[in-house]
Structure 1
Amino acid sequence: MEERGRGAGTRGARPLLEIGRIFHEPDVAAYERGREILARFPDAERVEVPSHWNIKGLHGNEGLVGDWVGIKRGVLVLGVKKSLSCRPNGRSADFIAPSHSNGCAMACAYCYVPRRKGYANPITTFVNIGGIMGNIERHAKRQGLKMEPNQVDPRFWVYDIGENGDCSVDATVSDNVRDIVDLFKELPNAKASFATKYVNRDLLGYDPQGKTRIRFSLMPEGISKVVDVRTSRVRERIAAINDFVEAGYEVHVNFSPVIVYEGWRADYTELFAQLDDALSTRAKAQLACEVIFLTHNAGLHEVNLGWHPKAEDLLWTPDLQERKVSQNGAPNVRYRTGKKGRMVKLFEGMLAEHLPYCTVRYAF
């Protein structure tokens, strides 16, 4: 299950993407970004489809579960984003920006995005980037200045630009991410933000000027090797933080998802020590974090059993979990009420002891 691509720091590994087939909506080539992407993968088979969201033979095809990783490596979907609205958030960001992509080439076993598609979740890139950026710009202008600090940011309205994918990987497909980073440099009252598990050093040349926040997701290395399939190793993410700070990014960390297992407290204590040893004074001074305990899903559990059952030994623990409806109305399973609250407080206490300079923006 351990596979890494370009930018992840591993010699001889297969590329993260080897695009052999592109499913695309009919209007994709009418957009400059669509033509650019098609030209980037000239040898790929092109299959026209009426919609990026429901591709016959790809989405909902139970027989594909055994090729879960192969599809992520070899298939790309191109579409035109229809809904361009910004949505309120209040946790990682003030607002969720309209997605410039959906899906991911990586294959984290706990990822919520494939729950809605089923059996296949390659990258979908949206080619109408001008419309997406225009909506963000207009929305930010309507907000005016941020008059009161909040837990998201004391000064800027923060827009999550990677809710349904990983922007570091998306940047290997097109210039959508670079264009959005450039946009936020020009917005006087707003900042971009995205979480990532992939070290793409090409982003170091984007010159974000403090207007993009990258959140590197971290967990103990041994557990990450099981559930973070096709990602950069945790030690590589930690090693990249100082460089991204020097390149002009605000860099936070996500302890997400926190998975409870025998020995988890000792493993996180070791992780905190690794982080403390690696970070520069400048990186420590601007550091903050999010703490998110695992949420899982019965449907995703069944999918995972078809391609990566070892991960479910960690993720599916009925003795510790209970059913709960999430904010978006989805029926999921989370650690039991009461027990989870105690674990969150315990985690925050460990953080305060070992990384006292790391502000906890929120924990749940």
Structure 2
Amino acid sequence: MTTRELDLTTLSPTRLWIPKHVLITRAAADLPHTAEIVRRCELAGVDDIRFLSGNALTGLRGATERETYASAKNTLAVVVAPPSALKPQPIPPSADWRIDLAKGCPAHCQYCYLAGSLQGPPVTRAYANLDDVLDGIRTHAGRGSVTRGTLERGDEGTTFELSCYTDPLGIESVTGSLAAAISRVGAGEFGTDVQLRFTTKFDDVGELVTLDHGRRTRIRFSVNAAEVANRFEGGTARMPARLAALRAVAQAGYRVGLTIAPIMPIPGWREQYGALLDDVAAAVAGIDDLDLTAEIITHRFTPASKEVLLGWYPRTRLEMDEDLRSQKRSKFGGVKYVYPKQTMTEMRGWFTEELERRLPAARLLYWT
């Protein structure tokens, strides 16, 4: 099925984030992409759009941690990406390089990957100097060691991950950054041997399926067992909506993927994750030229992320008990708490076998 044959009326998003407050810094005010963000925000009905006299984001804290969190999650800041954010960074095992369209996420995942890595209130910051951000693709095309030149993933070319510090689809309706990046890469502006990739928990793909993407973008949907998704992934599209969006973009010719994460050994995990894989198989059935990958990531946390998450979600039922975990140290001496070796081995063996049996079209890129 071609893009023209898609019924776009069926692609109305089930979950759409519209900020209550939009703050535009002085440095970002006159940039061309800022005008596009303002246009989209006004179209979405945002009433509070403020141009700041300076570049500092102030007045974000409430009387309590919960008030600060709630206000920040309803705020979009339009800022200029600093020089440190413009230099692509290696991002194994996902991609050759990381480039950031934004920093911060509007969702309410109780295991949030960003907790502990972002400074201050969790405001979503969209980068207005989009040309500078995307120029990293130009300077780093043909370089890298994760996919570029490898036997297993060399057909992907040089890969650029867009979703390390945000969910770019979750904010796309009010930024347009993702559509701009996909269109420019699809048109070959940065060469023909590059590929964008991003992960999302949202389903707002109506605009994306109309783009001339040149099959140079892989859209991966973050999926999980129903119990995990329903309990811990607030403010996101539900699993059936994500799978419907997965089918829609695959029908539109995009390369697609699954980010099965974070895996948790909940009671009945084999049955729940088995049902998930069966649902994915049904969602992609009958699609011509399907290019489907899978990345599987187990749940882990750090002391810093646990402290932040308990401040954001004091009543969470998410298991973060150090006594039930094993320590994993980074080369820089940082500590992560992961599942014990026996649990990891058992889950990895099951997922590897069941992914091949239930979803043979999927190519497993890595497990971590």
> What amino acid is the match of 1:81?
A
Q: Is the 8 A contact 2:160 2:196 kept in 1?
A: yes
Name the counterpart of 1:101. 102
Aligned equivalents of 1:199 and 1:49: distance in 2? 36
Q: CA deviation at 1:360?
A: 0.8
Cα separation, partners in 2 of 1:86 and 1:343, compared to 1, 3 Å: same
> SS at 2:19's partner residue?
coil
> What amino acid is the match of 2:360?
P
Q: Is the 8 A contact 2:36 2:176 kept in 1?
A: no
Q: CA deviation at 1:331?
A: 3.0
Aligned equivalents of 2:246 and 2:332: distance in 1? 32
Q: CA deviation at 1:70?
A: 4.5
Name the counterpart of 1:308. 313
Residues 139-177 of structure 1: CA distance to partner in whole angstroms, max 9, x if unpaired?
A: 21567xx87344445241111122111111231122211
Name the counterpart of 1:217. 222
Name the counterpart of 2:3. none
Name the counterpart of 2:30. 30
Cα separation, partners in 2 of 1:278 and 1:34, compared to 1, 3 Å: closer
Q: Is the 8 A contact 1:19 1:41 kept in 2?
A: no
Aligned equivalents of 1:9 and 1:147: distance in 2? 36
Q: CA deviation at 1:267?
A: 0.7
Name the counterpart of 1:80. 80
Equivalent residue in structure 1 for 2:364, among 349, 360, 364: 360
Name the counterpart of 1:198. 202
Q: Is 1:272 aligned to residue 277 of structure 2?
A: yes
Cα separation, partners in 2 of 1:36 and 1:316, compared to 1, 3 Å: same
Q: Is the 8 A contact 1:8 1:233 kept in 2?
A: no
Name the counterpart of 1:161. 162
Q: Is 1:293 aligned to residue 298 of structure 2?
A: yes
Aligned equivalents of 1:224 and 1:289: distance in 2? 18
Equivalent residue in structure 2 for 1:231, among 225, 231, 236: 236
**Percent same amino acid at aligned positions?**
23
Cα separation, partners in 2 of 1:248 and 1:339, compared to 1, 3 Å: same
Q: Is the 8 A contact 1:256 1:294 kept in 2?
A: yes
Q: Is the 8 A contact 1:94 1:152 kept in 2?
A: no
Q: CA deviation at 1:194?
A: 0.3
Aligned equivalents of 1:319 and 1:139: distance in 2? 43
Q: Is the 8 A contact 1:94 1:159 kept in 2?
A: yes
Q: Is the 8 A contact 1:158 1:192 kept in 2?
A: yes
Name the counterpart of 1:3. none
Cα separation, partners in 2 of 1:115 and 1:51, compared to 1, 3 Å: farther
Q: TM-score, normalised by structure 1?
A: 0.85
270-279 vs 224-233, greater mean Cα deviation? 270-279
Aligned equivalents of 1:179 and 1:45: distance in 2? 22
Cα separation, partners in 2 of 1:342 and 1:51, compared to 1, 3 Å: farther
Residues 228-257 of structure 1: CA distance to partner in whole angstroms, max 9, x if unpaired?
A: 110000111112222101212111111111
259-268 vs 208-217, greater mean Cα deviation? 259-268
> What amino acid is the match of 1:281?
G
Residues 56-101 of structure 1: CA distance to partner in whole angstroms, max 9, x if unpaired?
A: 4537x793335534431x211121112211122231112212x120
Q: CA deviation at 1:352?
A: 2.3
> What amino acid is the match of 1:85?
K
Cα separation, partners in 2 of 1:263 and 1:117, compared to 1, 3 Å: same
Name the counterpart of 2:18. 17
Q: CA deviation at 1:189?
A: 0.9
332-341 vs 164-173, greater mean Cα deviation? 332-341
Q: Is the 8 A contact 2:277 2:358 kept in 1?
A: yes
> SS at 1:281's partner residue?
coil
Residues 292-335 of structure 1: CA distance to partner in whole angstroms, max 9, x if unpaired?
A: 00121333323333443453x23313343133334676432211
Aligned equivalents of 1:50 and 1:340: distance in 2? 49
Name the counterpart of 1:137. 138
Q: Is the 8 A contact 1:261 1:314 kept in 2?
A: no
Name the counterpart of 2:7. none
Aligned equivalents of 1:327 and 1:251: distance in 2? 32
